[in-house]
Structure 1
Amino acid sequence: MAFDFQVTVDSAEPHKLADWWAEALGWHVEPSDEAFIRRMVAEGQAREEDTTTYHGVLVWRTGAAIRHPDGGGSSPPRRILFQGVPEAKTVKNRVHLDVFVGKENLEKELDRLLANGATLKYRGQQGPYTWATVTDPEGNEFCLQ
């Protein structure tokens, strides 16, 4: 049996990082369901402290997600969850995303991401394959290929 999965990224500021990655990948931030959040608080299944306001919208404090633009048709959708954690990132990621932009777009996309807060770590090559390893604004590594 094969299973589906989502990728979860620990982060200091999940809503800001979700915005950054949505822009970086051309994906969409999942909209908040304010009525659901209010109902969970009213029923005692969540606390007011579990919520916050981000861009004027009531959201869960410790999580934000993005979806692929055509993810509405898949179940579950292609999704990345950004989960707030109390500790800062201290070591290199053991797992990372490879973002396929195409060899012809690599430099343009690298420049765009660097202008939006990414940091270039190094460039790599193996045979005909080249990539740039960069970090997002919170230091999470990923490769552009």
Structure 2
Amino acid sequence: MTMTLAMVTTDSTDPGPLAAWWADQLGGSIVADNDGFYYMVQVPNGIMMAFQMVEATAPGKNRLHLDLVSADRPAEVDRLVAAGATKIADRDGGGFWWTTLADPQGNEFCIADTGAH
């Protein structure tokens, strides 16, 4: 059996603003809004993201998160914080550096230096 990852979906009590925020940060665009219930975002590298309406999100740390890379991680972190992200911590895994942040609705994600993965 062969499977293909179609998209990464995030639950949200207010998915429209979150979809717009991620589209802006990744240079993508919202390609469907499905009556405000389910937003699809196309990002330039071909990956699809979706944001779907739920009545309540699960409390605590999300078990699945996005790992992003950047040639200038500190500048990208500053840009994301200015756009509404929250910086949680800089991390060092024995010379492997990354930063953990949260999007405006509290979903954690990480940014590592290019070539770190």
TM-score where L is the length of structure 2: 0.86
Identical amino acids, percent of aligned pairs: 38
| Aligned pairs (5 A) from 1:56-71 | 59-71=34-46
Distance verdict in 2 for CA 1:31–1:101, change over 3 Å: same
Alignment check: 8 A CA contact 1:12 1:138 kept: no
Alignment check: 8 A CA contact 1:133 1:144 kept: yes
2:49 maps to which residue? 80
C-alpha distance in 2 between matches for 1:115 and 1:125 = 23
2:4 maps to which residue? 4
Superposed displacement of residue 68, structure 1: 2.0
What SS class does the counterpart of residue 100 from structure 1 fall into?
strand
C-alpha distance in 2 between matches for 1:15 and 1:119 = 19
Superposed displacement of residue 69, structure 1: 2.2
Residue-pair matches, total = 111
Distance verdict in 2 for CA 1:139–1:4, change over 3 Å: same
Structure 2, unmatched stretches of 5+, are 113-117
Which is higher, the Rg of structure 1 or of structure 2?
1
Structure 1, unmatched stretches of 5+, are 33-58, 72-77
> Structure 1 or 2: larger strand share?
2
> Structure 1 or 2: larger helix share?
1
What SS class does the counterpart of residue 87 from structure 1 fall into?
coil
Superposed displacement of residue 88, structure 1: 3.7
| Aligned pairs (5 A) from 1:85-96 | 85-96=54-65
Amino acid in structure 2 at the alignment position of 1:99: L
